[in-house]
Amino acid sequence: MVYDAVILGGGPAGYETALWVSSRGGKAAVIESGELGGVCTNRGCIPTKTLGATCDIIEQIAKAKRYGIDVQTQGLNADELFRRRDRVALTMRKGVEKLLQDAKVDVMRGVGKVESETEVTVNNDTVEGRTLVIATGSKPVGLPNVELDHEFVVSGDDAAASSKLPKKVVVVGAGFIGCEYASIYSRLGCGVTLVEALPKILPLEDEDVSDALFEAFSKTMKVVTNAKVESVDREKKAVNVSGEWIQADMVVLATGRVPVIPRGLDEINVLHDKKGVKVDSMMRTSVDNIYAVGDVTALPKLAHAAYAGAEAAGRNIMGDKFEADFIGIPWCIFTSPEIGRAGFTEPEAREAGREVRVGRGDYMANGKARCMGERIGFCKVVVDGRTDEVVGVHIFGAHASDLIGEAALAVRMRLKAQDIAKTIHPHPTLSEVFKEACEKATG
């Protein structure tokens, strides 16, 4: 048979595209060599947030006395911690399988190779589609002088699946992946050293946020910036960081991810570079009937970005004219404290020619935060002084990932700071920090 869409990859981008095609009455096939759900379900979002939930409970127990509760525990059961992580991931993976089954999407196991603009081979069989969708995701990138052995030197994917709790761990790379792992290991009681080659951690975040997380991390772990990993000694279990040897039971390389480009794209002139497959706002590649979605493109490597791109691809395959809109897409970093961002940083806004005004609301002055015992945190808004338009929002503190949704809407819809300031927010809630920040930005 000829499918409406043959999709290479069964992660968020791939399975969501298939569901959109099916919802429009089309027939889709998903080709996947590994586990359905991709990195997000199996080695990324879900496993790490499950571990993070345990970390949150550990922190709450440590603070219990100040809430008037006497608690005694027998410590951390690491085996049960990892069993729960695996159970949650399995449940989510089975959920994806059920969705595809109910939508009558054909799932084919194996590595797909693009043979033409309409054909893919898998396990020596040819699968034909009216359109092809490249959703092969991304993979961790290591260091040229340090090889992954997946035991002592591991990737972020390895760490998410590992059932070892190292006493000492060196995390290399202080982007959002590295910072999340550093936070998890530290809260689980491991000795952590976080290494970053650039002058500050979270180099892409707003400077106020980066500085605040550096201060918080410095209380619980060793943070080394302007430093490089020169080599590792596996026998001695040590890492050479700019000439200083640091003992470690595990080294996590969180130095970024690169797109997984499937075989056969060059032969049919699908344009791509080191950032990924090039697409337009409808997720079409340089070949009209071939689409690309998710981490394999140069778009943000986020599951929710993949979902948005999948909607565009699936709908357009079935005849809609639909453009994906990534304006104000939120970023969340699940450290402790959490971080949420939408839109420009302050320097980015200035570089874009905006007349910048800044407003800030602090957790210290927020009633709900005080009740929760969360005094560290803030919301910073970046506003265009000429138009009063909210062009960036940065939240550092408890539940930042839950709060950033309202901010993302404000940035996407180009709302004015006065719109937020005049909107009555419920009291007492953490959401009031966004209102307060906008009030200050409007004067």
Q: What is the DSSP letter of 336?
A: S
Question: Rounded CA gap, 111 and 22, in Å?
Answer: 23
Rounded CA gap, 416 and 388, in Å? 5
For residues 82 and 163, is the Cβ–Cβ distance under 8 A?
Answer: yes
**77 Rama sector, left if φ>0, alpha if ψ -120 to 50, beta otherwise:** beta
Q: Mark out the alpha helices in 148-302 (DSSP H runs).
A: 156-161, 176-187, 207-218
- For the cut 90, the answer to whether the pLDDT of residue 73 exceeds it is no
Question: Residue 67: its pLDDT value, please?
Answer: 92
pLDDT for the residue numbered 72 = 84
Per-residue pLDDT tens over the stretch 186-229: 999 999 999 999 999 999 999 999 999 999 999 999 999 999 99
The pTM of this model reads 0.95
Identity of the amino acid at 374: E
Q: What share of the chain is helix, strand, coil (3-state, %, to 5)?
A: 35, 25, 40
Instruction: Based on the residue annotation, tell me whether 150 is a catalytic residue of this protein.
Output: no
Please tell me the predicted confidence (pLDDT) of residue 245. Answer: 97
- Does the pLDDT value for residue 104 go beyond 90? yes
Helix, strand counts (H, E) of the chain = 13, 26
**Any residues with CB less than 8 A from the CB of 129 and at least 6 apart, and which?**
2, 3, 4, 5, 6, 29, 118, 119, 120
* 391-422 residue pLDDT tens: 999 999 999 999 999 999 999 999 999 999 99
Nearest to 261 by CA among 142, 113, 110: 113
Buried b or exposed e, range 80-93, using 16+ CB within 10 angstroms: ebbeebeebbeebb
pLDDT per residue as tens digits for the range 290-324: 999 999 999 999 999 999 999 999 999 999 999 99
**How many C-beta atoms surround the C-beta of residue 102 within 10 A?**
10
What value does the mean pLDDT of the chain take?
96
Average pLDDT over residues 239-264: 96
Q: How confident is the model at residue 375 (pLDDT cuts 50, 70, 90)?
A: very high
Position 58 pLDDT exceeds 90: yes
**What percent of the chain lies above the pLDDT cut of 90?**
97
pLDDT digits (tens, 9 = 90+) for 133-178: 999 999 999 898 998 999 999 999 999 999 999 999 999 999 999 9
For residue 88, name the pLDDT band (cuts at 50, 70, 90): very high
Domains present along the chain, CATH in parentheses: 2-137+258-317 (3.50.50.60), 153-255 (3.50.50.60), 331-442 (3.30.390.30)
Phi, psi of 354, deg, nearest 5: -80, 145
Q: Which listed residue (150, 304, 425, 427) is catalytic?
A: 427
Q: How confident is the model at residue 117 (pLDDT cuts 50, 70, 90)?
A: very high
Among 31, 52, 49, 28, which residue's Cα sits nearest to residue 40?
A: 49
Neighbour-count burial for 369-402, b at 16+ CB within 10 Å, e otherwise: beebebebbbbbbbbbeeebbbbbbbbbbbbbbe
How far apart are alpha carbons 129 and 133 in whole angstroms? Answer: 10
Spatial distance between the Cα atoms of 384 and 354, rounded to a whole number of angstroms? 6
- φ and ψ of 258, to 5 deg: -125, 150
Q: Are 194 and 223 in contact (CB under 8 A)?
A: yes
